[in-house]
Structure 1
Amino acid sequence: MQIKVSTEATMLVQSKKKFYTPDEYRDLEETAEFRNEYRDGEIVKMSGGSINHSRIIRNLSRVVGNLLEGQPYELFHNDLRLWIPRYRRGTYPDVMVIEGEPVFTEGRSDEILNPMLIVEVLSKSTKDFDREDKFRFYRSIPEFCEYVLVNQSEFLVAQYIKTESNEWLFREYEGETATVSFASLGVQISMSEIYAKVVFETSGTEVQ
């Protein structure tokens, strides 16, 4: 006897998501071929970045890292995971800076809790999430006081700086001759350094 399963039932089974504990996610990440984010029980594969995305991260890591030599700051790029306890989120910011010693999730050495500055390089697929939800998640980190968003399609950088009264000030830098001031670090970097070797797309498309 053949049993027919309705299309609706099949779709329901296929769409049912598996939820993971934070420790299950961490165990999977240790051997994962690609990096994944953790979103309160859900594991989400991170999309690959464009060549411009990689160039900007490289430029920022090199130039800002050199400027911080001898100071009580340490810069990390996008292969170190950040854990956000309030929202149960695990993510990999493009660039993070920590003041003093890194604070790790208990029992781990691959997941930090205390960045003061975070830089994200925007892509068409993630720019709204980076500006809104992700920024809200980051603001729950006590040490976090500066957020920088770098557009990879033009000379454009947005910056949010936390004041002593816990308000966030917005600044925008535009054009090839502009200079970006990292307020929390006391260093400056020119747009030409941020965008060194970056070739902007002319067809209106972006490779992910």
Structure 2
Amino acid sequence: MQTQQIYYTPNEYLAQEEVAEFRSEYRDGEIVSMTGASINHNQIAGNVYAFLKFMLRKTDIKPYIGDLRLWIPQYRQYTYPDVFLIQGQPVFQERRTDTITNPCLIVEILSKSTKDYDRTDKFRYYRSIAELQEYVLINQYKIEIEHYTKADGNSWLFRAYEASTDNIAFASINLEMTIEDIYENVEFDLSDRI
């Protein structure tokens, strides 16, 4: 017996999201529940956000974490990046103050259930954002960071970081952060329990 898939309009999704207990993403008609974040996921996102918040104060670049929604019109996607930056004023979707369209840097913390999606389709959707200059994927189970920086045209440069002694250079904002600071207070043995 086949179950019929239900498709939702963006407005139906937004109406549901306003009263939902848990956040969901919208993928071109489909509503996908988001899994809860682990303690390592939360620690890494907090470390990156705190560093960016401190280092970018008194600039026109502002960091945001977790609960602010991103609309990607070309692919009809609503998503919640773990951490992202906006340079200048936020561009809101249709005057909604909870949904933006113009991040310049996005950070996603990889989980076992989302890592493949974050590396493939989600990155393709993110690349359609004209303002986006950098995409950073951070593994919460071991020291491993994938860093993409926009180059000429539609080209993206890739760099991998796998040592705690490395520094990651955020080229679009002219800042460096140590890998050690990204993983501060992260206990990798906790990931075995997930």
Q: TM-score, normalised by structure 2?
A: 0.96
Q: What's the counterpart of residue 72 of structure 2?
A: 84
Partners of 1:78 and 1:92 within 8 A in 2? yes
1 CA distance for matches of 2:54 and 2:154?
30
2 CA distance for matches of 1:152 and 1:45?
20
Match of 2:188 among 187, 195, 200: 200
Q: What's the counterpart of residue 44 of structure 1?
A: 32
Structure 1 segments, 4+ long, off by >4 Å, are: none
Q: What's the counterpart of residue 28 of structure 1?
A: 16
Q: Provide the aligned length of Structure 1 versus Structure 2.
A: 194
The residue identity in structure 1 corresponding to 2:27 is: R
Q: Does 1:173 align with 2:173?
A: no
Could you give the per-residue CA deviations for residues 106-132 of structure 1, whole angstroms, max 9, x where no partner exists? 131110000010000111111111011
Identity rate of aligned residues, in percent? 51
Q: What's the counterpart of residue 100 of structure 1?
A: 88
Secondary structure of the corresponding residue to residue 201 of structure 1: helix
Structure 2 unaligned segments of length 5 or more: list them.
Answer: none
Q: Does 1:125 align with 2:113?
A: yes
Q: What's the counterpart of residue 111 of structure 1?
A: 99
Match of 1:147 among 113, 117, 135: 135
Q: TM-score, normalised by structure 1?
A: 0.90
CA-CA distance at 1:192 after TM superposition? 1.4
CA-CA distance at 1:206 after TM superposition? 5.2
Structure 1 unaligned segments of length 5 or more: list them.
Answer: 1-10
CA RMSD between the two structures = 1.2
2 CA distance for matches of 1:102 and 1:96?
12
